[in-house]
């Protein structure tokens, strides 16, 4: 060893970085709940002292993300005209456009029926979900921008596509914090690696502690998924505690010298959270410990429902432990540019029973009342055919539905034209959806802001209005 190498001094920053390696990315991605809630409350709390802008209808959100874009006209928005005009050119004038032809109309092969007291129309592809029709608030008039998956996904998850912005979950983490000191506020289960990747659950310019904690990815079966870098197999829990105590003492000493530094304070809290997560996360992720009846409810142990059933059950377990925003993602299989009939049947069989099981389980545990379940995707699909028997991307109109947490059940909001091409009644933009989600959590989307680069940013930018017609 050279004299230079022997005498070289490791800086404090290098030492802290190396010492903390056992806690990995989770320490920075996880939520310092108390600090986050305090930051928000200090800046935005109402005089009543609740920390919220108005009474919350929901405490948490579970987002069931159907990656790829399911066809709204085959699932929740029946259009008899499609079958009447099947194979004929769809003129632009029929949907308010100047184009002479948009392509040939593709009829839907699926039967629809009204369910529940509210008469909600649901395709034959979702027989289990149909049993919960009176809990569903179906929005048929969604629209957004971005005909490519990447742009549309970023708009869905962050509200913007042209700049790196915080995700919905990160904003909620920043605004509300977690109800559980041992778990982060924002967890994403099986998130997509493509089409924006980490940006879809990132914190952007918000403090890094608000980034979503990822469990696995959409391409990996959830039974094989882990929280990256949480466990340190090289050291015992006792050794890790001693290591952490040393690092934390140095951080606190540095903080006393500075007087105040939000970065260092957040670092201290995040290290502690990462350590505590080691004891709680394994139990939460153990879906096999649930009763056989509960596993059957979600379709666990059966194909093709096992994987998504485990994801939904994990979401319930996280919800009942105080996680504020939980996203569950399917893999990239709703993108039916051809064989939309076969593809829709296949994908619906994977998710129908688990989703119905989740709603039932939340209801019987008393959680649905203050848990908002959101189902949707980045866009819908065209009423015109692509490749003969498929449908192309369609941001101009699509459907989402919600249940629980402050929305009216058994209702349908908005409408599209006779072909399902564009909204013609009560259009709801993606910004409106985001504003409504925050409102249900007791947060004013115009007041949830973060100053960065000399400007106050918010999830909805300068847009968005709450869809009050759907509120209970």
Q: Rounded to whole angstroms, how far apart are CA atoms 149 and 86?
A: 27
Q: Rounded to whole angstroms, how far apart are CA atoms 161 and 159?
A: 7
Q: What is the mean pLDDT of residues 422-441?
A: 98
Q: Rounded to whole angstroms, how far apart are CA atoms 179 and 158?
A: 23
Express each pLDDT in 4-13 by its tens digit.
333 444 454 4
Express each pLDDT in 251-294 by its tens digit.
677 667 766 555 555 555 555 555 555 656 777 888 888 999 99
- The distance from CA 400 to its chain's CA centroid, rounded to whole angstroms, is 13
Q: Which of 154, 179, 151, 177 is nearest to 167 (CA)?
A: 154
Confidence of residue 163 (pLDDT cuts 50, 70, 90): confident
Q: Please calculate the CA angle 325-291-370 and round it to the nearest 5 degrees.
A: 30
pLDDT (0 to 100) of residue 437: 98
Express each pLDDT in 213-264 by its tens digit.
999 888 888 988 777 555 556 656 566 566 656 666 776 776 677 665 555 5
Establish whether the linkage from the previous residue to 40 is cis, with ω within 30° of 0: no
Tally the C-alpha atoms within 13 A of residue 399's C-alpha that lie toward its C-beta.
Answer: 27
424 burial type by CB count under 10 A (0-12 exposed, 13-18 middle, 19+ buried): middle
pLDDT higher at 282 or 401: 401
Using only the alpha carbons of the chain, give its radius of gyration: 24
Q: Rounded to whole angstroms, how far apart are CA atoms 279 and 284?
A: 10
Q: Is the per-residue pLDDT at 21 higher than 90?
A: no
Lowest mean pLDDT among 48-52, 149-153, 225-229, 336-340: 48-52
Q: Which of 358, 325, 270, 312 is nearest to 443 (CA)?
A: 325
- Strand-pair partners of 375: 64, 401
Lowest mean pLDDT among 85-94, 138-147, 203-212, 303-312: 203-212
Q: What is the mean pLDDT of the chain?
A: 86
pLDDT (0 to 100) of residue 236: 63
DSSP string across 208-266: GGGSPEEES-TTS-GGG--BTT---TTS-HHHHHHHHHHHHHHHHHHHHHHS--HHHHH
pLDDT (0 to 100) of residue 246: 67
Query: pTM to 2 decimals?
Result: 0.84
Region label for 281, one of left (φ > 0), alpha (ψ between -120 and 50) or beta (otherwise): alpha
Q: Rounded to whole angstroms, how far apart are CA atoms 338 and 316?
A: 34
Confidence of residue 43 (pLDDT cuts 50, 70, 90): low
pLDDT (0 to 100) of residue 285: 82
419 burial type by CB count under 10 A (0-12 exposed, 13-18 middle, 19+ buried): buried
Q: Is the per-residue pLDDT at 376 higher than 70?
A: yes
For 471, which DSSP code?
B
Tokens of 339: 């064989």
Confidence of residue 392 (pLDDT cuts 50, 70, 90): very high
pLDDT higher at 227 or 388: 388
* Residue with tokens 């709390």, as numbered in its chain: 45
Q: Rounded to whole angstroms, how far apart are CA atoms 397 and 374?
A: 17
Other Cβ atoms within 10 Å of 216 Cβ, number:
22
Q: Is the per-residue pLDDT at 141 higher than 80?
A: yes
**Do 57 and 402 contact (CB within 8 A), yes or no?**
no
Q: Rounded to whole angstroms, how far apart are CA atoms 269 and 383?
A: 51
Domains of the chain: 37-231+294-470 (3.40.720.10)
Q: Rounded to whole angstroms, how far apart are CA atoms 85 and 96?
A: 17
pLDDT (0 to 100) of residue 180: 85
Listed ranges 70-79, 85-94, 191-200, 252-261; the one with the highest mean pLDDT: 70-79
Q: What is the mean pLDDT of residues 147-171?
A: 94
303 burial type by CB count under 10 A (0-12 exposed, 13-18 middle, 19+ buried): exposed
Q: Rounded to whole angstroms, how far apart are CA atoms 286 and 302?
A: 17
For 21, which DSSP code?
G
Q: Rounded to whole angstroms, how far apart are CA atoms 465 and 183?
A: 31
Q: Which of 39, 18, 12 is nearest to 260 (CA)?
A: 39
* Residue with tokens 């996280």, as numbered in its chain: 318
pLDDT (0 to 100) of residue 28: 42
* Residue with tokens 């391409």, as numbered in its chain: 219
pLDDT higher at 255 or 140: 140
């Amino acid at each position: 060893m050279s004299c230079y190498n022997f005498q070289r001094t490791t800086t404090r920053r290098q030492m802290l970085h190396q010492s903390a390696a056992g806690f990995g990315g989770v320490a920075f991605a996880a939520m310092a709940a108390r600090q986050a809630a305090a930051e928000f409350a200090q800046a935005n709390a109402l005089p009543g002292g609740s920390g919220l802008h108005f009474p919350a209808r929901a405490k948490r959100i579970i987002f069931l993300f159907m990656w790829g874009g399911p066809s709204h006209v085959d699932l929740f928005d029946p259009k008899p005209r499609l079958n009447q005009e099947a194979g004929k050119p769809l003129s632009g004038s029929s949907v308010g456009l100047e184009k002479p032809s948009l392509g040939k109309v593709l009829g839907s092969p699926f039967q629809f029926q009204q369910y529940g007291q509210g008469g909600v129309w649901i395709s034959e592809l979702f027989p289990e979900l149909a049993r919960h029709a009176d809990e569903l608030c179906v929005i048929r008039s969604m629209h957004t921008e971005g005909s490519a998956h990447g742009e549309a996904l970023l708009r869905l998850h962050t509200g913007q596509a042209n700049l790196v912005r915080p995700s919905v979950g990160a904003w909620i983490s920043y605004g509300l914090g977690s109800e559980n000191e041992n778990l982060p506020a924002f967890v994403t289960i099986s998130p997509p690696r493509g089409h924006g990747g980490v940006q879809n659950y990132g914190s952007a310019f918000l403090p890094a502690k608000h980034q979503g904690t990822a469990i696995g990815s959409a391409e990996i079966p959830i039974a094989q998924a882990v929280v990256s870098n949480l466990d340190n197999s090289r050291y015992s829990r006792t050794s890790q505690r001693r290591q952490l105590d040393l690092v934390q003492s140095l951080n606190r000493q540095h903080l006393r010298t500075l007087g105040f530094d939000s970065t260092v304070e957040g670092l201290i809290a995040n290290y502690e959270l990462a350590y505590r997560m080691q004891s709680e996360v394994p139990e939460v992720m153990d879906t096999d410990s649930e009763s056989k009846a509960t596993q059957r409810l979600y379709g666990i142990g059966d194909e093709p429902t096992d994987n998504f059933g485990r994801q939904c059950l994990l979401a319930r377990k996280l919800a009942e432990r105080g996680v504020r925003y939980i996203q569950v993602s399917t893999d990239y299989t709703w993108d039916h540019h051809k064989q939309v009939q076969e593809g829709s049947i296949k994908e619906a069989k994977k998710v129908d029973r688990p989703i119905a099981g989740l709603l039932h389980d939340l209801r019987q545990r008393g959680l649905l009342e203050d848990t908002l379940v959101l189902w949707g995707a980045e866009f819908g699909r065209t009423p015109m055919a692509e490749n003969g028997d498929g449908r192309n991307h369609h941001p101009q109109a699509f459907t989402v539905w919600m249940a629980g947490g402050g929305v009216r059940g058994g209702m349908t909001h908005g409408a599209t034209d006779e072909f399902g091409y564009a909204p013609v009644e009560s259009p709801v933009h993606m910004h409106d959806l985001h504003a409504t989600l925050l409102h249900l959590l007791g947060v004013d989307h115009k007041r949830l802001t973060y100053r960065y680069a000399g400007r106050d940013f918010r999830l909805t930018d300068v847009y968005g209005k709450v869809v009050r017609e759907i509120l209970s």
